[in-house]
Structure 1
Amino acid sequence: MMKKLLGLALLAGAATAGTSGVAAAEGTVTANVAFTSNYVWRGITQSDGEFAVQGGADYASDMFYVGTWASSVDDFGADASAELDVYAGITPSLGPVSFDFGVLGYLYPGADDLDFFELKAAASISPTEALSLGAAAYASDEFGGDGGEESLYLEANAAFALSEAFGISGAIGNQEVDDDDYTTWNIGASYAFHGFGFDLRYHETDIDDADEEISFTISREL
């Protein structure tokens, strides 16, 4: 069953990367492009440990956001060579707590049977100007596409800004699919320089025989 779970986890990507910071803008359109040495999602490589090209676009107005994000992927043994994510949501706040409620679609052109959707509920708080703490839940009843299973992913994350340009962040999560689950965590550092973002990150899971993953990403907002 764990091998089956690992296979299902290989079929999804990182739409959340496209939503970072979107809610902060009001009535604006932004776009981004990135190159990564290894596209890793929930602790598992989506690009077979190889380079991937990524990019997205977002629109945000008041509490509402909508966007799309795409990446090259390994073919997963099927016909998929690209992942296209679409998402929308709202970002209300209550006192010092910011919320994010949305829906995400993971689409695989040429392999429609792999498509699936997740519902998202997240919250974050900044106890200090430099520290951010968050938690999120993602749920689906068709994880992995046609014939997929019910899934729930729970995550806790934290980020700390050491300066205006440099910060560290990490997350720990648990992915449950049907009656199986695994735990994953990552930690990394990010640096902003002349409009470019650089992120070096280490990823690991408790899946037997699974490889540790390292990714280095260069990104730019357009």
Structure 2
Amino acid sequence: MKNIKSFLGAAGVAAIAALGMSSAALADDAGDGERKFGYSISITGTSDYIFRGISFNNQDPAFQPFIEFTYGTPSLTWYLDFWGSNIAEPFGPFEVDMYAGVRPVTGPVSWDLGVLYYTYPENQIGSAKFPGPDNNGDYVEFKIAASITPVTNLTTGVTAYFTPDQGFNYGETWTFEGNAAYTLPTFHNFVPVISGVVGYTAGSRNEAGNFSICACEAQNYVYWNAGLKLTVDKYFMDFRYWDTNLTSSDAIDTNLSDARFVFTAGVNLP
């Protein structure tokens, strides 16, 4: 009952926030151009699937397609996203996520208010190899993000995520991130962007047990990354360093949460 109340409360807050931001943006919407449908596709390969500092694919490469549908104007855009990746056991062999939300702009602030649904259609939890409670691991998360461009080429922002219940993994979880990105001068047709993220996640252990990818004993931890992204036309490459403050006392397999360099490459369509 506690998780249901938390879920409904978070949903209500998200709905009110989205309505308020959308109403504010609508004031300028009339002069912001015609509302349009749009879509974009990204096809990406990465040397490791990292989620908040943790390797979710046992340090192996991952293929990650993404498609986004949008409707609106530059000052008020609704979106529906689908994202996928191969993922290690017991959640594997693949993950399929869905995101929906709105991106209003109020003055100098760009907002992103969304709901994320993480699914693991063929997970191995409950099998003879990974015995556990009758729970498929799917869960919902709420997101609110804000970003500004205080000076030319520099964008900074903060993001908060709230997860009412991750089932057998964790109960309520809060995650906060700060990020910054700076676009450097174009070099031989390449557009270089340096960026970084610092995040903190705090979760309550679920009494049913812990089947997280890294088997983390720690309820709270810090993660961060910094790297360089190079874009030329529709193609991009990303060179990034990841790390966390998890130690051998916090996780059974620290190889999944220790420092690493990750290379990612892909193409944006159309």
The within-5 A match list for 1:26-105 is 26-62=36-72, 63-75=77-89, 78=90, 80-105=92-117
Q: Which structure has the larger Rg?
A: 2
Partner of 1:20: none
How far 1:126 moved relative to its partner?
A: 0.4
Instruction: Give 3-state SS (helix, strand or coil) of 1:126's partner.
Output: strand
**Cα gap change, 1:162/1:89 in structure 2, threshold over 3 Å: closer, same or farther?**
same
> Residues of 1 paired with 2:106 and 2:39: CA distance?
25
Instruction: Give 3-state SS (helix, strand or coil) of 1:91's partner.
Output: strand
Amino acid at match of 1:160: Y
Partner of 1:193: 232
Amino acid at match of 1:172: V
Partner of 2:200: 174
Contact 1:47/1:73, CA 8 A, preserved across alignment:
yes
Amino acid at match of 2:37: G
Contact 2:137/2:169, CA 8 A, preserved across alignment:
no
Contact 1:40/1:213, CA 8 A, preserved across alignment:
no
> Residues of 2 paired with 1:142 and 1:29: CA distance?
31
**Cα gap change, 1:44/1:93 in structure 2, threshold over 3 Å: closer, same or farther?**
same
Q: What's the CA shift string for 1:19-43, capped at 9, x where partnerless?
A: xxxxxx9411111100100111101
1:214 matched to 2:237? The reply is no
TM-score (norm 2): 0.69
1:159 matched to 2:169? The reply is no
1:127 matched to 2:114? The reply is no
Q: What's the CA shift string for 1:95-135, capped at 9, x where partnerless?
A: 10011100001100113611111000000000122000000
**Cα gap change, 1:140/1:122 in structure 2, threshold over 3 Å: closer, same or farther?**
same
> Residues of 1 paired with 2:169 and 2:59: CA distance?
27
How far 1:57 moved relative to its partner?
A: 0.7
> Residues of 2 paired with 1:38 and 1:186: CA distance?
14
How far 1:92 moved relative to its partner?
A: 1.0
Partner of 1:9: none
**Cα gap change, 1:26/1:204 in structure 2, threshold over 3 Å: closer, same or farther?**
farther
Gaps of 5+ in 2: 1-34, 124-134, 206-218, 249-253
**Cα gap change, 1:123/1:199 in structure 2, threshold over 3 Å: closer, same or farther?**
same
Amino acid at match of 1:198: M
Instruction: Give 3-state SS (helix, strand or coil) of 1:92's partner.
Output: strand
How far 1:141 moved relative to its partner?
A: 1.4
> Residues of 2 paired with 1:54 and 1:79: CA distance?
16
Two-structure CA RMSD over aligned residues (Å):
1.6
**Cα gap change, 1:114/1:131 in structure 2, threshold over 3 Å: closer, same or farther?**
same
Amino acid at match of 1:80: G
> Residues of 2 paired with 1:45 and 1:147: CA distance?
16
Q: Give the 4+ runs in structure 1 shifted more than 6 A.
A: none
